[in-house]
Structure 1
Amino acid sequence: MTAKTFQDFGIEVRHSSGEEDTTCPQCSESRRNKRARCLSVNIDKGVWTCHHCGWSGGLGIGEQSRPVIVKTWRKPQYQPERVSPSEEAVRWFATRGITREVMERNRIGVCSAYFPQLEDRANAVTFPYLRGEEVINVKYRTKDKHFRMEAGAERVLYGLNDIGETLIWVEGEMDKLSVEVAGFTSCVSVPDGAPTPNTKNYDSKFDFMGAPELEGVKLHIIAVDNDEPGVRLEEELLRRLGRDACKVVRWPAGCKDANDVLRRHGAATLRECIEAAAWVPVEGEHSVSEYAENMDRLYRFGMPRGLRTGWYSVDEFYTVMPGEWTLITGIPGHGKSEWLDALMVQLAQDHGWVFAIFSPENQPTEYHLSKLAEKYTNKPFGDGPTERMTPQEKDQALAFLDEHFVFLLPELPTVDALIERLKSIVKRRGVRGVVLDPWNEIDHSRLSGLSETEYISQSLSKLRAFSRACGVHLWIVAHPTKLQKESDGSYPVPTPYDVAGSAHWRNKADNCIAVWRNTKEHNDQVEIHIQKVRKKAVGRPGLVTLKYQRITGNYLEHSGPFAKAARA
């Protein structure tokens, strides 16, 4: 019997080995974006799975399918062709510099709508959010700036139908209309504005990043508001879209957004501002003048600081800074992965972070999820002498983990392959933290003639560049070489120089941490040795003792004086 090939199942692959993403013969043809590469294929194993329709299978086992939970959205009962702008609305828009022609093209209307914040109906301007001729959502705005969108409807970009190869991003519908008055139709507005400075978890605000219409964009021009929320939105867009594909617009003094420029200076000046958009520095040589704008922002809003870990004792010495990477080392069994899991759960709870995890040693994934759930609920997952989490608490924990964690499960991927997959996840899920645990489970095949030291140097440079470009914090767990026991039979605290392969582990890391416990004393104390911190805004070297809670894997503040500074 002749062995089957991928072509027998309609699957097109370009390579003879490895992993690749391609179109799905089951669903791609019927989708709006027929070129979406939603089918992941492992050529070596001869298996595939579609992340859209759930079709999966293998060359040896044939086709399979699994149910995929698809989120459904309510469609607004709104017909833009029956809603037109009143003369009063036309006059009001004219005071903001918006012409009747632009209003009619974007189907701006007026109606009476209910506003929960007013607990009453009010006359409002309507901004229909269209995909083709279909109304996906509607935003209602009163004269005194009360807003409402359709409950249960999908939050998409305002201006989806106008997306071209060069796309301008703004922060509100009025700004999108203003940009059109200036002569640019390829412009979108984010549906909910910028996240407020105190927003912890704003990942759901960026669900629009999955729009297939964005896949054809070659250049993004970021033209959001010149205020603190706008700065945060700009950084998040740059992080997800890729700084090398973005230009940034700066508004004249005294102007906060595109509509401000239009009203105060006119359409010609607004057009000049957009045409003067500058590339975002990525790498290479730069003049001081290029940093003047960012320096002004730092002066106004302060230097960035690392995020608190959830342990006050640890925060004195180590905080978590986006764009950096931390080496975690320790003797097997001393709790380095367990401590890192606890850190991730606390960052997700306190700051809303989303994590991507490559952790082959914590397989199967259900086992890893049970450990994370224990840290979230502070109760054991399994039955035993201690009260376990209830079914409701288990479901709550899984819902929390589904919102904040995504797992990478390729077998022996290369560093380059991991980086490419992670870039895609950062864009789609807004990942802020990445864990590679452990380093030795990555495929480290290297070119002939390249030494291990040279390979590690190049790999860590690539990972550092990825962290900085995407604004994520990366933790790499790496085992030390075999250490010599002390005279009492215990192992010494490992340092970055003990990690197998190269001194580059110490030299290239932004932060280095060793997790260690005295196995001779059989107690619950675990020492967190912060051995290197590059930036003083992040922390400083020091030693912290935490109490390990065995039934849940959590780490508690140690009673008494819980931290002491490292010796000079």
Structure 2
Amino acid sequence: MKTFSDFGIDISGKSGVEVKTTCPQCSPSRKKKNYPCLNVNTEQGLFNCWHCGWSGTLKGGEWQKPEIRKVYSRPVFATPTQVPDGTVAWFKTRGIDAAVVERNGITKGSIYFPQVEEERDCIMFPYFRGEEVVNIKYRSKDKHFRMAAGAERILYGINDINPDVLVWVEGEIDKLSVEMAGLKSCVSVPDGAPAADSKSYSNKFDFLTEKALEAVKLHIIAVDSDEPGVRLQEELVRRLGREKCLIVVWPKDCKDANEVLLKHGAEILADCIGNARALPIEGTYSVDDIIEAIFNDYEYGPERGVSTSWAEMDETYRVMTGEWTLVTGIPGHGKSEWLDALALNLANHYGWNFGIFSPENQPLKYHVEKMAEKIVGKPFMEGFTDRMSFKEMSESLKFINDHFHFMLPDYPTVDGLLEISQQLVLRYGIRGLIIDPWNEINPARDGNVTETDYISQALTKIRTFARRNQVHVWLVAHPTKLQKDKTTGAYPVPTPYDVSGSAHWRNKADNCITVYRDVVQTGSPVQVHVQKVRKKTNGKVGMVEFVYDHICGRYQPYKKSVLPNTYNMHHRKKEAA
């Protein structure tokens, strides 16, 4: 059998089952050449690079080549020598001159539209990257749209990006309208704004990995003023960074750039963009900054967090982005299992993406297998109940891969984890971050900083990250050693003040939850104690009981009629065997 050195993998000087080292495939070409991005399981002979995807086994060899990327097709497109007269005339009705149409390589053609199941004449908007046409947007006369099949979704107008300032719109016509106002540095998102009822649109922002965007100093967000446009604006600001963004406010009688061009002219359009307003300076606000939100609260009621998808918890705890929740409990009482179940609920019902730092749930495949069991409702391995099928396993793994991103740095610090999480916000649009547990984070503090001060500073950084990026953070922290009740032998329910290190845990958290189980009494339910909720619209102090299914890790609301549960059934079968 081959050794790791046969694959160029150097693990010399490292011991243990799970070790990390540099990747021979991608590390030499990376900025951080010495960063250990390759996970190696010395016991099973497995290796996997989380950065480039190079993976394999000592026995089977490489089973995924390095730097594998999706293969895109390239549409056939002939740059027109002259724009057809009919096309020029149509653009004239939209206030756009022939010179702008010609510069952007727009022409006329025909293609099959699946919406109407027939081929129709259309306008063709080529998406250039350099000299190459990467994609084409087709628009029929009756406003049916499609893009080239199998082509890469990129920004419209990449070649025009100026690193000093970049205008963002949500349609090709709007990009051309901005050019009519004298501003060429403008891009349009390829698929428009996310629909008002879409729950998962994080993967629609892959265009943010475009290299040319990294150098842009200022982003002017000039998208539509309707509900989908507002969602697009919020997501762009969240990912690009609010400190680098300005927001355009359109005249009341207009919702986008082209409408301003047609109704008010190129000069007014240029003024709207030139007068883009800054977002409030972080930490300072005026009533004008929030007046619309206040009016909305008055008319429709204050904003609430989303449901945990356990209806029984809606009155005590709802999850709001921009907040953080302390989760504590005695080791072995199910904090991590309950958090995984909650995250899967939010991913399934609302399309949330997550970053997870959970070093105690290692090896990673064990953690993923447990999550798959929760999704399918069946065990991963053979046992006394039917195991999940290969198809069920594959579908659950795809769901986990689409919504969860695991962080396993060699030397985890608060700053390091938040830096990685910031990248996950940009690339994958994560809405949730789980740090489980606190004691696995290395305390990067010098001798002059007390533990209390360090915890205070760290929690402030976490809270700032949550609010700035509109991410909900769950932070798991263990309580200090508790004394058993002398009569019953049971431990008391921990409180946030029992968490080791500082009262800041309770004081700085937006929400505090304790997961507790009476291990003395057989068959007792899992109790989720909500001990603090900062915003009354998101819950109140209270307790909800669950039955934990030990076979597949699911949590169901506790009802005496459902006991004995599948756990007890499993053990009865085992005893009978």
Normalised to the residue count of structure 2, the TM-score between the two structures is 0.86
Contact in 1 for aligned 2:25/2:54 (Cα 8 Å) = no
Is 1:149 aligned to residue 143 of structure 2? Answer: no
Specify the SS of the correspondent of 1:234: helix
**For the residues of structure 2 that align with 1:22 and 1:257, how far apart are their CA atoms?**
47
1:175 partner amino acid: D
Deviation at 1:66, TM superposition (A): 6.1
Contact in 2 for aligned 1:318/1:539 (Cα 8 Å) = yes
Alignment-derived partner of residue 515 in structure 1? 515
Alignment-derived partner of residue 3 in structure 2? none
Specify the SS of the correspondent of 1:225: coil
Alignment-derived partner of residue 88 in structure 1? 86
Specify the SS of the correspondent of 2:121: strand
Alignment-derived partner of residue 400 in structure 2? 401
Contact in 1 for aligned 2:167/2:221 (Cα 8 Å) = yes
Contact in 2 for aligned 1:547/1:555 (Cα 8 Å) = yes
2:558 partner amino acid: H
Deviation at 1:478, TM superposition (A): 0.5
Contact in 2 for aligned 1:328/1:478 (Cα 8 Å) = yes
**For the residues of structure 1 that align with 2:55 and 2:370, how far apart are their CA atoms?**
30
Deviation at 1:27, TM superposition (A): 8.0
Deviation at 1:121, TM superposition (A): 1.2
Over residues 315-371 of structure 1, what are the superposed CA-to-partner deviations in whole Å (9 max), with x where a residue is unaligned? Answer: 221111111111110111111100000011111111111111000100000000010
Is 1:41 aligned to residue 35 of structure 2? Answer: yes
Is 1:445 aligned to residue 444 of structure 2? Answer: yes
Contact in 1 for aligned 2:354/2:434 (Cα 8 Å) = yes
**For the residues of structure 2 that align with 1:104 and 1:436, how far apart are their CA atoms?**
53
Over residues 375-424 of structure 1, what are the superposed CA-to-partner deviations in whole Å (9 max), with x where a residue is unaligned? Answer: 01011011100100011111111111110111100123111111111101
Deviation at 1:38, TM superposition (A): 7.4
Over residues 95-127 of structure 1, what are the superposed CA-to-partner deviations in whole Å (9 max), with x where a residue is unaligned? Answer: 211111111111111111111111111111111
**For the residues of structure 2 that align with 1:357 and 1:311, how far apart are their CA atoms?**
22
**For the residues of structure 2 that align with 1:374 and 1:155, how far apart are their CA atoms?**
34
Deviation at 1:304, TM superposition (A): 2.8
Deviation at 1:255, TM superposition (A): 0.8
Contact in 1 for aligned 2:200/2:350 (Cα 8 Å) = yes
The aligned length equals 529
Contact in 2 for aligned 1:328/1:512 (Cα 8 Å) = yes
2:160 partner amino acid: D
Alignment-derived partner of residue 469 in structure 1? 468
Specify the SS of the correspondent of 1:543: strand
Alignment-derived partner of residue 571 in structure 2? none
Specify the SS of the correspondent of 2:343: helix
Map residues 52-67 of structure 1 onto 2, 5 A cutoff.
52=52, 54=54, 67=65
Map residues 1-400 of structure 1 onto 2, 5 A cutoff.
37=31, 41-42=35-36, 51-52=51-52, 54=54, 67-68=65-66, 69-81=68-80, 84-165=82-163, 166-295=165-294, 303-400=302-399
Deviation at 1:37, TM superposition (A): 4.2
Q: Any unmatched runs of 5+ in structure 2? A: 1-9, 11-19, 40-46, 57-61, 563-577
Deviation at 1:300, TM superposition (A): 7.6
Deviation at 1:434, TM superposition (A): 0.5
Contact in 1 for aligned 2:27/2:33 (Cα 8 Å) = no
Over residues 430-485 of structure 1, what are the superposed CA-to-partner deviations in whole Å (9 max), with x where a residue is unaligned? Answer: 11110000000001131222111111111000010001111111000100001111
Specify the SS of the correspondent of 2:80: helix
Contact in 2 for aligned 1:73/1:154 (Cα 8 Å) = yes
**For the residues of structure 1 that align with 2:517 and 2:257, how far apart are their CA atoms?**
57
**For the residues of structure 2 that align with 1:214 and 1:222, how far apart are their CA atoms?**
14
Q: Which deviates more, 435-444 or 534-543?
A: 534-543
Specify the SS of the correspondent of 1:78: coil
Q: 1:181 and 1:459, CA in 2 relative to 1: closer, same or farther beyond 3 A?
A: same
**For the residues of structure 1 that align with 2:384 and 2:279, how far apart are their CA atoms?**
58
**For the residues of structure 2 that align with 1:267 and 1:128, how far apart are their CA atoms?**
24
2:240 partner amino acid: L
Over residues 175-197 of structure 1, what are the superposed CA-to-partner deviations in whole Å (9 max), with x where a residue is unaligned? Answer: 11111111111111111111112
**For the residues of structure 2 that align with 1:435 and 1:386, how far apart are their CA atoms?**
31
Specify the SS of the correspondent of 1:80: coil
**For the residues of structure 2 that align with 1:324 and 1:336, how far apart are their CA atoms?**
19
CA RMSD of aligned residues (A): 2.8
**For the residues of structure 2 that align with 1:358 and 1:382, how far apart are their CA atoms?**
25
**For the residues of structure 2 that align with 1:262 and 1:247, how far apart are their CA atoms?**
20
Deviation at 1:80, TM superposition (A): 2.6
Contact in 2 for aligned 1:514/1:531 (Cα 8 Å) = yes
Q: 1:524 and 1:377, CA in 2 relative to 1: closer, same or farther beyond 3 A?
A: farther
**For the residues of structure 1 that align with 2:337 and 2:460, how far apart are their CA atoms?**
27
**For the residues of structure 2 that align with 1:20 and 1:218, how far apart are their CA atoms?**
35
Specify the SS of the correspondent of 1:361: coil
Over residues 31-56 of structure 1, what are the superposed CA-to-partner deviations in whole Å (9 max), with x where a residue is unaligned? Answer: xxxxx74756149x9x9968248499
**For the residues of structure 2 that align with 1:175 and 1:38, how far apart are their CA atoms?**
40
Q: Any unmatched runs of 5+ in structure 1? A: 1-8, 10-18, 29-35, 57-63, 563-568
**For the residues of structure 2 that align with 1:557 and 1:65, how far apart are their CA atoms?**
43
Q: 1:561 and 1:91, CA in 2 relative to 1: closer, same or farther beyond 3 A?
A: farther
